[in-house]
C-alpha cells in the first residue's frame, strides 16, 4: 500500500496552476463524437481512469480513437494531450457479443448503457467493485419504456446488465428527477438517433447544472433541446450531430481543491483553463468560499482566489455535492458549526461518502454528525492523522486540502486521484506543497509498446536487484500451451485480452516483483488499476520508427491492425495508446538511442530517487 505525505505551505503563497479538462465534458464529448458521422477532433480532453473507461468501452464496440502527437518536451510529456481524434462512429459497430467494462466510472456505465440500446449486438455491461453496487434500475426501466430489452446478469436492479435490443422507439419517457441526473443525460444524448422524444420528469430535478452541461454539449455538436423548467425536455426529430471539432473546458471539480487550499492557507492562487461562464456545478463552490470570507476575481479564461481564511457556514449542496467533502474539511478548521444539506446522493458514490467523512474527521479530533440528507461539522483545532481514502478519489483530494495546512498528514492510496485528476499531486507540488510517497515492497512494472525493451530490461532489473521477474506474455503462452500469435489466430483478440486481465489480477497481488507487461495491457483501465495498487509503473517510451525497426523481422508477433507495413502499424497503435501509457505511468523513460543496459540504469536511477532501491 502506498501513502503520500505532503509538506504544507510554510507561509501564504502566490502561484498559477493549469487545470485539466473537465471529466464530465470529456465523457459527454466522447459519446457525442461516437454519434457523429465523420471525423471529430476533441481538444483538451482529460485522460483519467474515468475517461479511459469510456474510451475503452467505445473502442471495444469498434469506435476508433487516436491521440494527436503534440511533440512535447520530455520533461513535460505527461501533461494532458492537445487533442483526441475520433475517426469512426456507431455505424462501424457490427453484430456480435461485446463485453464492456466501465471500471469505476458511473458516468461511463450509464452513458454506455443508453448507447448500447441503439447499436447492434449483444452488449454485456459491467463495472468494477462498488460500481456494481450502485443502482441502475431506473435507467433500465426508462430505456424499456422506449422498447429496449435488457436483462440483469446477477442482482436485479444493479450491474452487470445484458442489452439484447438495438433499436428504440420515439415517443415519451418518464424519468424520476430525484435519482442520478446521469440517467437523464444518457437518454438525452442518444435522442437524436431515436427520433422525436419527450422526457417528463417525475418529482423534482436534482443536479440541474449537470443537465445544463449535457444540453450545452449537445448544442455544441449541433443538436437543440427544449428545456421546460426542468419538468419536461423535448428533442425535435430530424436532428443529427454535426461537429468537426470540440474543445473541452477546464474542470471546476478539480479546480475546487485549489480554491479551498487558497482559502485555508490564505494564499493567492490563479487557476487557468477555466470558463467563468461555465455550466459546471462546482463553480458554485466559489460562492461558498466567498461566504466564508474569501475574495474571487474572474478573468477571461482564469479565476484568482485570494484566501482570507474560513468561517462556519450553512449551505445546501444538492446541486454540487461533489465538493461536500472539501467543504467538510474546511469546516474542521472554522470556528463554529457548519451545516451542509443536500448530501443524500453522496451515500451511493464510490464509497458511502458521508460515513467516510465522519470517520476520517474523527481521526483528526473533529466531531461530525449526519442525518440522511445533512452533515454537520463542529469546527475546532484539527490534528494530523493517517487518512484512509476508501478507493475514492474525492476523499484523497479533499483531505489533501487539510494537508496543505497541517503538518504530519498522511493519505493512504494516493493513486485513487487518477480517476479524475492524474496530475493532482504534481499540481499540488507546483503550488508549493511538495510530497513524498512511501511504498511497502512495491512491484516494479514495465509498460510500453512492442520493441520498447520491457522483457530485456525486466530481466536485467531482476538480476541487478535480485528480484523475481514475471513476464505476463510468457505466462499466457505457458497456460495456453501456444504462442500468443497462435492464440490470437485461433481464439481472437478478445479471448487473449480476457486471459491477460485474469493474469494481471493475479500478479498484481505480488509484492517486490519485477513485472513485464504486454503492450496492450493499458487498454483496459481495470488492468491499470490493479497494477497500480501495489506497483510503480514505468513507461519505456520510444518513437514509432525505432520501435518498428526493432520488431520488423519478428514473425512471432500477431498483427495488431491491417496496416501494410510494420512502421504504419506501430504509428497507428502508438497514436491510440501513447497518452494512456503516459497517464498510467509513474515514471517515463524516453529512449531514442539508449542501449538496453543504459535504459536499465535509467530505470534504476528513477527508482533510487523515489527511495525504492539503492543502486
Active site residues: 322
Phi, psi of 245 (to 5 degrees): -150, 140
Q: How far apart, in whole angstroms, are the C-alpha atoms of residue 330 and residue 311?
A: 9
272 in Cβ contact with 18 (< 8 Å): yes
Q: What is d(CA 125, CA 161) in angstroms, rounded to the nearest whole number? A: 5
Element (H, E) at 459: helix 454-465
Round to whole Å and give the CA distance between 194 and 143.
11
Measured CA distances, 33 to 74, 223, 244 (Å) = 30, 12, 9
Nearest residue to 452 (alpha-carbon basis) of 591, 311, 342, 306: 591
Q: For the range 546-549, what are the long-range contacts, defined as Cβ-Cβ under 8 Å and sequence gap of 24 or more?
A: 546/451, 546/591, 546/592, 547/449, 547/450, 547/451, 547/452, 547/574, 548/451, 549/451
Q: Please state the φ and ψ torsions of residue 414, each to the nearest 5 degrees.
A: -65, -20
The secondary structure of 167-191 as a DSSP string is ----EEEEEETTS-HHHHHHHHHHG
Task: Find out whether 575 and 569 touch, Cβ atoms under 8 Å.
Answer: no
CA distance 168 to 175: 16
Nearest residue to 615 (alpha-carbon basis) of 604, 599, 606: 604
Q: Whole-angstrom Cα distance, residue 318 to residue 577?
A: 38
Is residue 207 within 8 Å of 181, Cβ to Cβ? yes
Q: Where are the beta strands (DSSP E) in 482-548?
A: 514-516, 535-541
Q: Which residues face 446 on adjacent strands?
A: 516, 538
Which H helix or E strand runs over 53?
A: helix 49-61
Between β-strands 161-163 and 150-152, what pairing exists: parallel, antiparallel or unpaired? antiparallel
Beta strands in 342-442 (DSSP E): 367-370, 374-378, 386-387, 410-412, 435-438
Q: How far apart are CA 24 and CA 177, in angstroms?
A: 19
Distance CA 114, CA 271 (A): 35
β-pair type (232-235, 245-247): unpaired
Q: How far is CA 137 from the centre of its chain?
A: 24
User: Which candidate, 463, 483, 540, 474, places its Cα nearest to that of 507?
Assistant: 474
**Alpha carbon distance 127, 287 (integer Å):** 35
Quote the CA–CA distance of 433 and 429 in Å, as a whole number.
5
Amino acid at each position: 500500500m502506498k501513502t503520500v505525505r505532503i509538506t504544507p505551505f510554510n507561509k501564504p503563497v502566490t502561484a498559477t496552476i493549469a487545470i485539466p479538462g473537465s471529466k464530465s465534458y470529456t465523457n459527454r464529448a466522447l459519446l457525442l463524437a461516437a454519434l457523429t458521422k465523420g471525423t471529430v477532433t476533441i481538444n483538451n480532453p482529460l485522460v483519467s481512469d474515468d475517461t479511459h473507461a469510456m474510451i475503452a468501452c467505445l473502442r471495444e464496440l469498434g469506435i476508433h480513437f487516436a491521440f494527436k502527437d503534440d511533440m512535447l518536451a520530455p520533461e513535460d510529456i505527461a501533461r494532458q494531450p492537445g487533442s483526441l481524434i475520433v475517426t469512426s462512429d456507431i455505424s462501424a459497430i457490427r453484430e456480435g457479443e461485446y463485453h464492456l467494462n466501465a471500471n469505476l466510472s458511473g458516468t461511463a456505465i450509464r452513458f454506455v448503457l443508453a448507447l448500447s440500446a441503439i447499436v447492434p449486438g449483444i452488449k454485456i455491461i459491467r463495472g468494477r467493485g462498488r460500481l456494481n453496487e450502485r443502482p441502475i434500475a431506473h435507467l433500465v426501466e426508462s430505456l424499456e419504456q422506449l422498447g429496449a430489452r435488457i436483462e440483469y446478469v446477477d442482482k436485479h436492479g444493479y450491474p452487470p446488465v445484458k442489452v439484447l435490443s438495438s433499436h428504440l422507439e420515439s415517443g415519451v419517457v418518464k424519468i424520476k428527477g430525484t435519482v442520478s441526473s446521469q440517467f437523464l443525460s444518457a437518454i438525452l444524448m442518444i435522442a437524436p438517433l431515436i427520433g422525436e422524444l419527450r422526457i417528463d420528469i417525475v418529482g423534482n430535478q436534482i443536479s440541474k447544472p449537470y443537465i445544463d452541461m449535457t444540453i450545452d454539449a449537445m448544442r455544441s455538436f449541433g443538436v437543440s433541446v427544449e428545456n421546460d423548467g426542468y419538468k419536461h425536455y423535448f428533442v425535435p426529430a430530424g436532428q443529427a450531430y454535426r461537429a468537426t471539432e470540440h474543445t473541452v473546458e477546464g474542470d471546476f471539480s478539480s479546480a475546487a481543491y485549489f480554491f479551498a487550499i487558497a482559502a485555508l492557507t490564505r494564499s493567492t492562487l490563479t487557476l487557468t483553463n477555466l470558463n467563468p461562464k461555465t455550466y459546471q456545478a462546482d463553480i458554485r463552490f466559489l460562492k461558498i468560499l466567498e461566504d466564508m470570507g474569501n475574495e474571487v476575481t474572474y478573468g477571461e479564461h482564469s479565476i484568482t482566489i485570494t484566501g482570507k481564511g474560513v468561517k462556519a457556514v450553512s449551505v445546501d449542496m444538492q446541486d454540487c455535492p461533489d465538493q461536500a467533502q472539501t467543504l467538510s474539511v474546511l469546516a474542521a478548521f472554522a470556528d463554529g458549526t457548519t451545516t451542509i444539506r443536500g448530501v443524500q446522493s453522496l451515500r451511493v458514490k464510490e464509497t458511502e461518502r458521508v460515513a467516510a467523512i465522519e470517520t476520517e474527521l474523527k481521526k483528526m479530533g473533529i466531531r461530525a454528525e449526519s442525518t440522511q440528507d445533512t452533515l454537520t461539522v463542529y469546527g475546532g483545532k484539527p490534528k494530523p492523522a493517517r487518512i484512509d481514502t476508501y478507493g475514492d478519489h474525492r476523499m484523497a483530494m479533499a483531505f489533501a486540502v487539510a494537508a496543505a495546512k497541517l503538518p504530519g498528514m498522511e493519505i493512504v492510496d494516493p493513486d485513487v486521484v487518477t480517476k479524475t485528476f492524474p496530475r493532482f499531486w504534481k499540481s499540488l507540488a507546483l503550488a508549493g506543497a511538495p510530497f513524498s510517497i512511501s511504498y511497502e515492497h512495491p512491484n516494479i512494472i514495465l509498460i510500453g509498446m512492442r520493441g520498447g525493451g520491457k522483457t530485456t530490461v525486466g530481466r536485467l532489473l531482476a538480476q541487478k536487484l535480485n528480484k523475481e521477474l514475471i513476464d505476463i506474455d510468457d505466462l499466457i503462452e505457458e497456460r495456453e500451451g501456444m504462442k500468443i500469435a497462435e492464440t490470437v489466430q485461433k481464439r481472437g483478440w478478445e479471448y487473449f485480452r480476457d486471459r491477460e486481465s485474469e493474469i494481471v489480477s493475479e500478479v498484481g497481488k505480488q509484492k517486490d516483483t519485477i513485472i513485464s507487461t504486454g503492450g496492450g495491457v493499458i487498454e483496459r483501465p481495470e488492468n491499470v488499476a490493479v497494477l497500480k495498487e501495489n506497483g510503480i509503473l514505468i513507461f519505456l517510451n520510444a518513437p514509432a520508427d525505432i520501435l518498428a525497426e526493432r520488431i520488423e523481422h519478428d514473425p512471432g508477433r500477431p498483427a495488431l491492425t491491417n496496416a501494410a507495413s510494420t512502421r504504419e502499424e506501430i504509428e497507428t497503435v502508438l497514436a491510440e495508446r501513447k497518452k494512456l501509457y503516459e497517464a498510467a505511468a509513474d515514471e517515463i523513460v524516453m529512449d531514442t538511442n539508449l542501449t538496453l543496459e543504459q535504459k536499465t540504469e535509467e530505470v534504476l536511477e528513477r527508482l533510487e530517487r523515489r527511495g525504492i532501491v539503492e543502486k
